[in-house]
Amino acid sequence: MLKVSFLGGLGDFGKNMTVYEQDGHILVVDCGSMFPEADNPGIDLIIPDFTCLRDRVDRIAGLVLTHGHEDHIGAVPFFLRDFPVPVFATPLTMGFIEKKLSELGVNNIEKTVLEAGRSYRIGPFVVEGIPVTHSVPDAVSLIIDTPEGRVLHTGDFKLDQSPLDGRLTHYHRFHESGRDGVMALLIDSTNVEVEGMVGSESRVRKTLERYITAQRSKLFITLFSTNLMRLQTIFDLASRHGRKVALFGRSLVQNAKVGVDVGYLRIPKDTQITPEEVPRHPRGNVIVLTSGSQAEPFSALNRVAFDESKHLFIEEGDLLILSSRIIPGNEKRVARLINQVYRKGGEVITAREDRVHVSGHGAQEEIRLIASWVQPEYYIPVHGEYRQLKGNAQLACDMGFAKDKVIVSGTGEALKFEKGAFAGREEVPAGSVLIDGDTSDSVDRLVVRDRRHLSNDGIVVPIVVINRQSTRMESEPEIISRGYPYLDGGNGTADEVRKDLAALLRTLPAEEIRDSSILKAKVKSTVKKTLKRNEAKIPLIIPVVIEI
Ligand SMILES: [Zn+2]
Ligand SMILES: [Zn+2]
């Protein structure tokens, strides 16, 4: 019997992970993360709960990755730390993973660079990658042959007839695999609500070229740091039009380095400059690529907009292009950033005003094309919120699939197949584990760490009450402490903390005061600094911001 379990990605957007299990032998496809919402301070990453695999590490034959987006590989180092199993990925995806593994210090993993079009035997499964176009190079769909029948797992895809890197989707392989008979198609639902075709990356190139040729002042472009094709395009255009390009932001610099190392990014000679060199060049000649397209606090773009970068800032006449999608939930933050750029005298272009971004996920016609080539027995929408899964199921029914052959599943569910036929559903343990970015520890480990910290060093809770409108303090900051002697007794440290917090609130820009995640972090670091200056022990500090 084949069991296909979904540990993430169905009904919740992000952290895609699917477990294929044939008679106890396991193949894992993708192992992604998702970003927490703004009101989860201290939590930097959410990954799937691996509980259902816990006692079966010796039964896992391998982990196969479809492509290098965080929602597919973001949890890989955490997974491999606990389950050191062989990994299969295409060259660029493997490059991204190696960087992650070395950051977390996970060694001795057996790695196989997956060559598209070749078959790999992994336990009882035979797996082949089919090249597909997407918004990161080197993406593949997977043909997974199992003893119960063939599964086609699309991963993320679109059908771009003129991709910037020239690597086309291998349409014929979908067609051939369908002709040989596919039991189940697991297909990306992200853009099922978009009619027609989603459009080619080459249209973005044309738009960007228009802005680059017309540029009179600094041009900032923010984009997803995995979109190496777009990075390449901007470098090529810059070189053609005599512009210099600076990369700003850790993820962008790192991914570009992986891209260059693996051969997926070629930086033209004499085109790249460092952020420090930007002020030395005529403003009309400089393009700055930054990460932080979701206006994350402390991201590169936020630092530029709010004058926190040493060398880069927005000046009168500068243009910022958001060459990326705004992920739902981040709209407010992005809007605040856009307003800030205008306040500085700059201008902003988003995908709403011009073709500066196109999605990496296929729309209705692209989904239909895949389905018509593959002609599966069972049609299973994956990768999307519940509404999109339902929409994709409806699209299949409209195409003529019988209702009982279209299966809408969800995270935490397994679908069973026997001798080519669907054999029922089963619940599996699934959920989220929260990861703290400073330590890369899961939060239950952190709880232990916090308790230890608390019992050894005590706790300090600085409370600031601010008026949302005026961004002024409503009253003097209050400091509550427990088990922490340094703030009691009249040595003046408590007064100093209050004074420093008041000073912080006076000097912080209004935008940062309104962003409670930024304000909390600043309050915490201010208290820490004051205590350090007074040679006090550093307690557990939990800032509280009250807005009225
Ligand atoms: Zn993707
Ligand atoms: Zn994805």
Give me the residues paired with residue 527 across strands: none
The SS3 assignment for 245 reads strand
C-alpha 488/C-alpha 506 separation (Å) is: 26
C-alpha 450/C-alpha 306 separation (Å) is: 32
Residue 495 CA from chain centroid, whole number:
42
Q: Which two tokens stand for residue 92?
A: 């660029």
Ligand nearest to the CA of 188: 2
pTM of the model: 0.84
Q: What is the pLDDT of residue 328?
A: 78
Strand order in the sheet with 45-48: 45-48, 432-436, 441-442
Ligand nearest to the CA of 33: 2
Q: What is the DSSP letter of 36?
A: P
The SS3 assignment for 240 reads helix
Residue 462 CA from chain centroid, whole number:
32
Ligand nearest to the CA of 135: 1
C-alpha 356/C-alpha 321 separation (Å) is: 7
DSSP 420-444: TEEEEEEE----EEEEETTTTEEHH
Ligand nearest to the CA of 139: 1
Q: Which two tokens stand for residue 193?
A: 């609500």
Place of tokens 């079009």: 117
Instruction: Tell me how far the alpha carbon of residue 190 lies from the centroid of ligand 1, in angstroms.
Output: 10
Within 10 angstroms of residue 467's Cβ, the number of other Cβ atoms is 12
Instruction: Tell me how far the alpha carbon of residue 258 lies from the centroid of ligand 1, in angstroms.
Output: 17
Instruction: Tell me how far the alpha carbon of residue 489 lies from the centroid of ligand 1, in angstroms.
Output: 57
Instruction: Give just the sign of the alpha carbon dihedral 506, 511, 516, 519.
Output: negative
C-alpha 351/C-alpha 199 separation (Å) is: 13
Ligand nearest to the CA of 9: 2
Ligand nearest to the CA of 32: 2
Q: Do residues 538 and 317 make contact, with C-beta atoms less than 8 angstroms apart?
A: no
Give me the residues paired with residue 384 across strands: 10
Instruction: Tell me how far the alpha carbon of residue 361 lies from the centroid of ligand 1, in angstroms.
Output: 8
Instruction: Tell me how far the alpha carbon of residue 188 lies from the centroid of ligand 2, in angstroms.
Output: 8
Which helix or strand (DSSP H or E) is residue 319 part of? strand 319-322
Instruction: Tell me how far the alpha carbon of residue 392 lies from the centroid of ligand 2, in angstroms.
Output: 16
| Nearest Cα to Cα of residue 530 among 489, 482, 479, 483 | 479
Instruction: Tell me how far the alpha carbon of residue 383 lies from the centroid of ligand 1, in angstroms.
Output: 10
Instruction: Tell me how far the alpha carbon of residue 31 lies from the centroid of ligand 1, in angstroms.
Output: 12
The SS3 assignment for 438 reads coil
Place of tokens 């339902």: 390
C-alpha 432/C-alpha 75 separation (Å) is: 11
Instruction: Tell me how far the alpha carbon of residue 73 lies from the centroid of ligand 2, in angstroms.
Output: 10
Instruction: Tell me how far the alpha carbon of residue 327 lies from the centroid of ligand 2, in angstroms.
Output: 12
Instruction: Tell me how far the alpha carbon of residue 539 lies from the centroid of ligand 2, in angstroms.
Output: 40
> What are the two backbone dihedrals, phi and then psi, of residue 140, each rounded to the nearest 5 degrees?
-135, 150
Domains of the chain in start order, with CATH, are 2-196+359-433 (3.60.15.10), 201-349 (3.40.50.10710), 458-547 (3.10.20.580)
Q: Do residues 416 and 1 make contact, with C-beta atoms less than 8 angstroms apart?
A: yes
Taking 70 as the pLDDT cut, the residues of the chain under it are 37-43, 437-440, 443-449, 451, 489-490
**Angle between helix 171-180 and helix 364-374 axes, rounded to 10 deg:** 40
| Nearest Cα to Cα of residue 360 among 62, 109, 68 | 68
Half-sphere exposure of 6 (CA within 13 A, CB side): 25
Instruction: Tell me how far the alpha carbon of residue 136 lies from the centroid of ligand 1, in angstroms.
Output: 7
Instruction: Tell me how far the alpha carbon of residue 398 lies from the centroid of ligand 2, in angstroms.
Output: 25
Q: What is the DSSP letter of 281?
A: S
Instruction: Tell me how far the alpha carbon of residue 481 lies from the centroid of ligand 1, in angstroms.
Output: 46
Ligand nearest to the CA of 69: 1
Ligand nearest to the CA of 383: 2
Ligand nearest to the CA of 359: 1
Strands (DSSP E) contained in 65-200 are 87-89, 111-113, 119-122, 125-132, 139-146, 149-153, 184-188
Q: What is the DSSP letter of 283?
A: G
Q: What is the CA radius of gyration of the chain?
A: 25
Q: Residue 283, class by beta-carbon neighbours within 10 Å (0-12 exposed, 13-18 middle, 19+ buried)?
A: middle
Instruction: Tell me how far the alpha carbon of residue 13 lies from the centroid of ligand 2, in angstroms.
Output: 8
Q: How big is the CA angle at 423 (ends 420 and 425), to the nearest 5 degrees?
A: 135
Q: Which amino acid is at 396?
A: A
Q: Do residues 167 and 131 make contact, with C-beta atoms less than 8 angstroms apart?
A: yes
Instruction: Tell me how far the alpha carbon of residue 386 lies from the centroid of ligand 2, in angstroms.
Output: 15
Instruction: Tell me how far the alpha carbon of residue 350 lies from the centroid of ligand 1, in angstroms.
Output: 21
Instruction: Tell me how far the alpha carbon of residue 423 lies from the centroid of ligand 2, in angstroms.
Output: 28
C-alpha 299/C-alpha 39 separation (Å) is: 17
